[in-house]
Amino acid sequence: MTLIQTLMNQTSINTFLEGGDIKRFTPTEIRETIQSLVAAEQVNLAYALGDAGLAIYPHSEDMLAINGLLAVIRQEWEQAIEMLTELMDMQGHNTQPFTYVMLTRALRCNLDPAGALNVVRKGLAQYPNQLELVAESLALEEYVHAINPTDTTQ
């Protein structure tokens, strides 16, 4: 039985999540279930499952990625930054463009345009033609120039 089927069959979701039954599912299965829950607008259950999955697999790329995105949805910028930064550190040169974009946006929303610009530049070094990274870079460079017209780091 898949995790989503198991969750839907539970009479008490909290008992299932806290009872350790979730440990029999892989981080990938948990991530995919969270994605399905978000798509079905079951975000509170997705958050609970994300928290449980992260508690069991704290250094899993799947758990860091999905919980980073959940933190973005919740607008918990510091948590998103922490998780996405750890994910990027783990993945190194295998970091996906989407991760760079989401971390850039989280930093920007956390009022750290310089940090966001640094991340987007790293992403562009690896993916020079990725449209979202290019757009983020242009917007951030315009912003930095608007608040500090004498900045020559561009």
Residue 109: pLDDT band (50, 70, 90) is: very high
Residue 91 is encoded by which pair of tokens? 């993945």
Question: pLDDT for 48-61, tens place per residue?
Answer: 999 999 999 999 99
Residue 117: pLDDT band (50, 70, 90) is: very high
31, 70 contact by CB (below 8 A): no
- Considering the segment(s) 77-154 as one domain, its CATH architecture is Alpha Horseshoe (1.25)
What is the share, in percent, of the chain residues with pLDDT greater than 70?
A: 86
34, 49 contact by CB (below 8 A): yes
Q: Is the pLDDT of residue 152 over 60?
A: no
- The pLDDT value recorded for residue 121 is 95
* All structural domains of the chain with their residue ranges: 1-74, 77-154
For tokens 């949805």, what's the residue? Answer: 73
The whole-angstrom separation of Cα 35 and Cα 28 is 11
What integer best gives the mean pLDDT of the chain? Answer: 88
Q: Is the pLDDT of residue 9 over 80?
A: no
Answering whether pTM is above 0.75, one says yes
- The pLDDT value recorded for residue 18 is 61
- The pLDDT value recorded for residue 86 is 97
Mean predicted confidence (pLDDT) in 35-40: 94
Q: Is the pLDDT of residue 102 over 90?
A: yes
Q: Is the pLDDT of residue 12 over 60?
A: no
The whole-angstrom separation of Cα 89 and Cα 13 is 33
